[in-house]
Each structure stands twice: as structure tokens, then as C-alpha cells.
Amino acid sequence: MEDRIRVLIVDDQSMSRRLFELYVASSERYCLVDSIGSAIAADIYCRQIRVDLVLMDVLMAEGIDGLEAAERIKSVSPGTKIIIVTSMPEVSYLRRAREIGVESFWYKEASPEPILDIMDRTVAGESVYPDAAPVVMIGTARSTDFTDRELDILREMTTGASNAQIGDKLGLSGNTVRNYIVQLMTKTGFTTRTELAVKARVLGLVISGDETGSR
Amino acid sequence: MTLLEFAATGPGTLFVLLLGLLVLAQLYLVLISLELEERRRATASRAMLFLAEALVFSTASASLHRVLENGQPPQLPLGAALIAAPVWAYALAAALVLLWEVWDVLRLRQLRRTGLSSLSVKESLDLLPAGIAFAREDGTPMLVNLRMEAVCRAILGTPLRDAEALWRRAVMQRLPESSEAEPVLRYGQGQVVAFRRTKLAGMDPPCVQILALDRTEEYAMSRELTARNEALRALGERMSAYGRMVDELTREREILEAKIAVHDGVGQALLAARAYINDPERHDAETVLELWRGVNALLSGTAEPAGSGEDAFRNLTEAAAAFGVEIRLEGDLPERGPGRECLITALHECITNTLRHAHGSVLWVRLEREAGETVAAFSNNGVSPEGPVRETGGLALLRQRTEAIGGTMTVESEPEFRLILRVPGTAETRGEEKDGR
């Protein structure tokens, strides 16, 4: 067992964890260190014992999100390789994962390669990232039609923040925020900002960092 | 011709009267100068000129009267000299005085238009839309404008006699959202006024200035704004709650997809089993068994309680137990909210410290409720720190996070390491929050 690659699974959904456990068990190259339901404890495992590879979900019900946990793991155990696994098309996840130094990124439903393939390639030293987040339609617009700034504003809108609060957070004036929102509504064809925010959140196009852990 | 000779004629009488008028005109100039609070020296020089004119005129006219009416010589040598002086000298002096007085009248008129007197200060203060009063420190009013009088009548029912009494009333009856330093008061038929009191530096005796600023419109607008913000906040909360619901739905969708995978697995295993039963020779029993094992494993996974693994506190407890640290919890954690988040972060930090530095086996977490807050004390049975614990890394972040939500954090290094956190929210608030949603 010592020669095998030691894997830690972090996912708050038992069914997901079970599926990943089965993948790990099905391969002789890997052995399971543990399978845990909260990202907050992940760095404790990586600090205390040898963990070669972590399969990490992003959106957690409580504590910290998977990307924050990945950052902590990288600081306490830089040799541990991490694969982010998510079903959310939120574009900022890809960018944040790269910034943190996460090795690979896998979309649960949209990535064509099987997870075991990604695990093998990651362990072999490759960094496997999809070219882009999955494209989703929101109203009459495609998720790729938005600028980064528009997505920042949309992300804050999903928290129910006012224009002034969004402006404070992003360093913009209330009027600029309003103009961006008008642009977003023109692109998507929605008539109210609530409708737009709800749809964006349902699709997982934008997910505010404030949400994880606020429950 | 002397003054005496000229005065005996008809035009001479008129001339003397004219001189008298010039003296009266000078008196008028002195009075105007006093009214306008002209510079002292200017007023004094006008008065001196008046006195000189009056002395000359009264002495000369008295002497003329004695000589012409009574036939007696003048009483004083000055009188004799004055009536013996030539008329042209009087005419010249009168012309000069007249010219001077005309020029002075013009100058004083200009001063009246542009200069400031105490009256003009009061007049301009009365024109202000705000109430203003200057008073001694004991409250004795020195200068009060009309607006302040009106405000005072409306609030105290009397004219302003004691500015300090008005200020005290304003502080006592102020609206709760205003401060003692700038009390805001509602009076009459919904008028709102904000008071300000300033000590005036360098005044002798010491003075205070009290301002009463009309805030009726602003107050109405701020109330409307508060109501709107409240509506927006409620919308924001609904949006946030909706976000959480969406996460639940996402998880359920993932469960559904996993169940479909199980269903497909079962179908595949059934097909393989049927193929094996129909023709055992051509099929490998081990493959069929492997498929069924996979299905069983998936199914046993689905039998786990829904939402298992979502409790970060329990996960941390399990992680600590996996490395030989038992968490002993006394009391209840808040069920949700930023206070709970903070305590979970603190527990993570304390587990890490117990494992890395203290090498302990028990971590106590004692939670107490105090007036809507939870006070948590973390301690362990490991080695005590050798010196004061430095707040770097995780502890520094924890302090930042705690203080950001209005909590406090205390780190004790002696006699043993103890971390005390006071955070908003208790276990009991859960029910209220749920009801409120």
C-alpha cells in the first residue's frame, strides 16, 4: 500500500464521495487515505500524514470552500497534488485555481476525460485544465458574452447587495454599477435585476465567495 | 464792517440765524456719528467742532443781544472781540463749515449704506433661515434672532430667557437616533430641528453660540430612505436564502445523477447476470460478481443519511480524533451565522496548535451564552507555551475575522494556552432566524 498513491477525497456530498471512492478502489495505483465531507479539515490530514493527491469539490455546505482549502494545503504540504472537481460553470473558479497553484481541474459533468485519466496525468506531473468553463445560456446571452467586470457585478448581485454595496466592494461608483447592470440586462433580455440574479445563480454561472460558510 | 454793525441791519439778523443753523447741523452730524458707531476719534472731532461753533455762536449772539437790545457793553472780553470781528471773516468761516458739513453728510450716508452696526448685525441675523443665539455661559442671552425666538417659543412656550435651559431641553427630548452633541428635536406640527452648541474662543466674558437648524425635510427624506433600505435588505436576505436553496437543489441534482449511474450499473449487472445464467460457459463469473459488487457499493453509499458530511464541526472533530486528539465540547454552538463560522475557524486553529505545538490529546471547548453572544474558551492538556504566544498566521487571521463580525478574541499564554472568543449569536437564535426567513 505504501507504494501506491495516497488519495484524500473532499466532497460534502456523500454520493459524490462514494463515486470517487469507487474510482480510487478500482485502480491498483491508488489507495484511499480518507474521504471527508468538509474542506475545513483537509489541511489537517495533509499536515499530519502523507497525502499525494486530493480530489477537492469547491462548493461546500459549511466551513471554507474547496479553493480556500486548496490554498491552505499548498501552504502546509506543497508536494500534495490537487484536482478541483466541480459541477459549477463559475469562471472565476478556473482563474482562482490557477492562481493558487492547483495542478488540475475537472468538471464533473462537462469534462470529456474520465477522472481516473486526469488523476494519472496529474500524478505524472501534468497540469490538466479545461480550455474554458462550460458555456451556459442565460436569457439570450452565452456565458462567454460577458466581460470579467460584468461577471464581477453579476456575482455580487446574486448576494442581494445594493448598487452602493457592490460599488464599495469593487471600487466603483453606484452609477457605474447601475450602467453595468443595464448592460447585463440588455445582453440577457431580462427585465428585472432579480430575475437576472436568480437565473445566474441557478446556473452556477457566478457564485459569491460569501456564500460558502455563511450557512 | 463788523459783525455788530451788520447785525443791526435786516440781512444781518438773517445771517446770524444762518450761523445758528450751521451749529444745529453740526449737532445733527454728531448724533448720526454716534448712531452709526463711527470711530471714536471721528465722532470726537465732530463733537469738538460742534462745541467750538456753539461757544462762538452763543457768546457772539449773547453779546449782540446785550449791545443791541439792552444798550450795555458785552459781559466778556471774548464777546467784545467776536462782535468786533469783520463780517467777511464770519462769512468765510460759515462757508468753510458749510462745505465741511455737506462733505461729512455725504460720507456718513455712505457709511450708513456699507458699514456695520450692532443693529445691522441683528437685522441680518433675523434674515437667516436658521435660529441663532449668543449667550453667556450661564445662559443669559446676548443676541437672539427671530427664528430662534420662534423655535424657543414653540419648544419652551416662552421667549428665550435662558439659552442653557433650551439646550438642556433639546438634549433631554431629542430623537433617539440623534446624539447628545447634536440633539435633533421634533416639535409643533412635525417640524424637526437640529441644535448645535459651540463655545466661542477668546471671548470675554466666555460665550456660547447655539444654532437651531431646520431639518424637517431631511428628516422626512431619511425616514423614507430607511424604509426603502429596509425593503432592500429584506430583498437581499431573500436573495441570499435563495442562493442557499439553489445549492441544496444542485446537490440534489448531483444525487439524482448518481442514482441514474446506480440504475445504469444495476441494468448492466442484470444483463451480465442473465447472459451468464443463459450461457455460463461463455461468460466469466468474476466479471458479473465485480459488477454486482460495484452496484452494492454504490447502493450502500446512497443509504448514508442525507446531508452527512456537511457539518464542519463534526468533520473537524473526526479529523482531530483520527490523529489522537479528543474534542470535549461543553455547551452548544450557534447553529448558523458568522459567529458559528468564527468558532469553527477557531477550532481548526486550536486542533492544529494542539497537534503541532502542544502535542496534547484532549482539546476542551467550553461554550457559554451571554446576552445574545457565545463565549467560547479553548484549552488543551498538552505542553504550555514557553513564552507569550505570538499572533501570526492562523491566529492573526482568526482575530481579523472575529473582530470583523463585532466579536473579541483573547489569547492567554499562562499558566496554559487558552483562547477565548466572544462572538455574536447563540444556539437559541436558530429558531428565531428560521422563523424570520
Let me know: does A49 contact A43? Beta carbons within 8 Å. no
User: By CA distance, what is A63's nearest residue in B?
Assistant: B312
Give the nearest partner residue to B315 out of A41, A108, A204, using CB atoms: A41
Cross-chain Cβ contact B247/A63 below 8 Å = no
CATH of domain A137-203: 1.10.10.10
The sign of the dihedral angle between the CA atoms of A77, A81, A85, A90 is positive
Taking 70 as the pLDDT cut, the residues of chain A under it are 1-2, 110, 209-215
Question: What is the Cα gyration radius of chain B?
Answer: 50
pLDDT number for residue B85: 87
Q: What is the nearest CA distance from B175 to chain A, expressed in angstroms? A: 27
Cross-chain Cβ contact B257/A109 below 8 Å = yes
Cross-chain Cβ contact A19/B251 below 8 Å = no
Give the nearest partner residue to A14 out of B238, B309, B318, using CB atoms: B309
Cross-chain Cβ contact A44/B355 below 8 Å = yes
pLDDT number for residue A66: 92
Contacts (Cβ under 8 Å, ≥6 apart) of B337: B424, B425, B429, B433
Q: How many CB pairs under 8 A join A and B?
A: 146
Residues of chain A with CATH 1.10.10.10: 137-203
Burial of B415 (0-12, 13-18, 19+ CB in 10 A): exposed
Cross-chain Cβ contact B244/A215 below 8 Å = yes
Give residues 26 to 85 of A whose Cβ lies within 8 Å of B.
34, 36-38, 40-41, 43-45, 47-49, 59-63
B297 touches chain A (CB under 8 A): yes
CA–CA dist A201, A203 (Å, integer):
5
Q: What is the nearest CA distance from B154 to chain A, expressed in angstroms? A: 39
Q: What is the nearest CA distance from A128 to chain B, expressed in angstroms? A: 23
Using an 8 Å CB-CB cutoff, list chain A residues near B259: 15
Q: What is the nearest CA distance from B322 to chain A, expressed in angstroms? A: 9
Q: Coil, strand or helix: which one is B215? A: coil
Give the nearest partner residue to B250 out of A162, A204, A213, using CB atoms: A204
Residue from A12, A207, A210 whose CB has the most chain B CBs within 10 Å, to mutate = A12
pLDDT number for residue A25: 85
pLDDT number for residue A105: 93
> What DSSP state is assigned to residue B2?
B
For chain B, how many residues are written? 437
CA–CA dist B18, A44 (Å, integer):
115
B158 touches chain A (CB under 8 A): no
Q: What is the nearest CA distance from B240 to chain A, expressed in angstroms? A: 5
Say which CATH class B119-214 falls into.
alpha beta
Cross-chain Cβ contact A160/B236 below 8 Å = yes
CATH assignment of A5-123, given 3.40.50.150, 3.30.930.10, 3.40.50.2300, 3.10.350.10?
3.40.50.2300
pLDDT number for residue B261: 65
Cross-chain Cβ contact A44/B257 below 8 Å = no
Using an 8 Å CB-CB cutoff, list chain A residues near B336: 215
**What is the CA angle A83-A89-A92, rounded to 5?**
75
Q: Please tell me the pTM assigned to this model.
A: 0.54
Q: What is the nearest CA distance from B144 to chain A, expressed in angstroms? A: 43
Let me know: does A35 contact A9? Beta carbons within 8 Å. yes
- Which cell numbers hold the place of B285? 463469473
For chain A, how many residues are written? 215
pLDDT number for residue B256: 67
β-bridge pairing B373-380 and A81-86: unpaired
Using an 8 Å CB-CB cutoff, list chain A residues near B343: none
Give the nearest partner residue to B301 out of A18, A44, A202, using CB atoms: A18
Determine which helix (DSSP H) or strand (DSSP E) holds B133, and give its type and residue range: strand B131-136
Phi, psi dihedrals of residue A51, rounded to the nearest 5°:
-125, 120
B224 touches chain A (CB under 8 A): no
Q: Coil, strand or helix: which one is A140? A: coil
Using an 8 Å CB-CB cutoff, list chain A residues near B257: 109
Side chain identity at residue B339, one-letter code: G
Cross-chain Cβ contact A14/B304 below 8 Å = yes
Contacts (Cβ under 8 Å, ≥6 apart) of A19: B258, B261, B298, B301
Domain boundaries, chain B: 3-115, 119-214, 226-302, 312-436
Helices (H), A38-147: 42-48, 66-76, 91-100, 115-123
Give residues 62 to 81 of B whose Cβ lies within 8 Å of A.
none
Number of Cβ within a 10 Å radius of residue B119: 11
Q: What is the nearest CA distance from A67 to chain B, expressed in angstroms? A: 16
Contacts (Cβ under 8 Å, ≥6 apart) of A178: A163
Tens digit of pLDDT at every position of chain B (437 positions): 888 888 878 788 888 888 899 899 888 888 888 877 677 888 888 899 899 989 999 998 888 888 888 888 888 888 888 888 888 888 898 899 889 888 888 888 887 777 666 677 778 888 888 899 999 988 899 889 999 999 999 888 888 889 999 999 999 989 888 888 889 988 888 889 999 999 888 878 889 999 999 888 888 888 888 888 888 888 877 777 777 677 667 666 666 666 666 666 677 677 777 777 777 777 677 777 777 776 666 665 544 444 444 578 888 999 899 899 999 999 888 877 888 889 999 999 999 989 988 899 999 999 998 888 899 999 999 888 888 888 888 888 889 889 988 899 999 888 888 999 999 877 654 444 444 33
Query: Cis omega before residue B424 (within 30°)?
Result: no
Query: Cis omega before residue B385 (within 30°)?
Result: no
* CA A171 to each of CA A3, A152, A162, A208, B359: distance values in angstroms, whole numbers, following the listed order: 51, 11, 14, 17, 45
Give the nearest partner residue to A15 out of B232, B301, B312, using CB atoms: B301
Q: What is the nearest CA distance from A185 to chain B, expressed in angstroms? A: 18
User: By CA distance, what is B258's nearest residue in A?
Assistant: A15
Using an 8 Å CB-CB cutoff, list chain B residues near A19: 258, 261, 298, 301
Q: Does domain B312-436 have CATH number 3.30.565.10?
A: yes
CA–CA dist B211, B209 (Å, integer):
7
Give the closest residue to B16 by CA, choosing from B3, B27, B5. Answer: B3
B286 touches chain A (CB under 8 A): no
Give the closest residue to A171 by CA, choosing from A189, A188, A149. Answer: A149
Let me know: does B234 contact B240? Beta carbons within 8 Å. no
User: By CA distance, what is B236's nearest residue in A?
Assistant: A160
Residue from B259, B298, B315 whose CB has the most chain A CBs within 10 Å, to mutate = B315
Let me know: does B269 contact B291? Beta carbons within 8 Å. yes
CA–CA dist B92, B201 (Å, integer):
54
CA–CA dist B300, B315 (Å, integer):
21
CA–CA dist B46, B107 (Å, integer):
13
Using an 8 Å CB-CB cutoff, list chain A residues near B341: 63, 213-214
Give residues 137 to 196 of A whose Cβ lies within 8 Å of B.
158-162, 194
Question: What is the Cα gyration radius of chain A?
Answer: 19
Residue from B251, B314, B350, B398 whose CB has the most chain A CBs within 10 Å, to mutate = B251
Phi, psi dihedrals of residue A60, rounded to the nearest 5°:
-115, 155
Number of Cβ within a 10 Å radius of residue B308: 13
β-bridge pairing A5-10 and A30-36: parallel
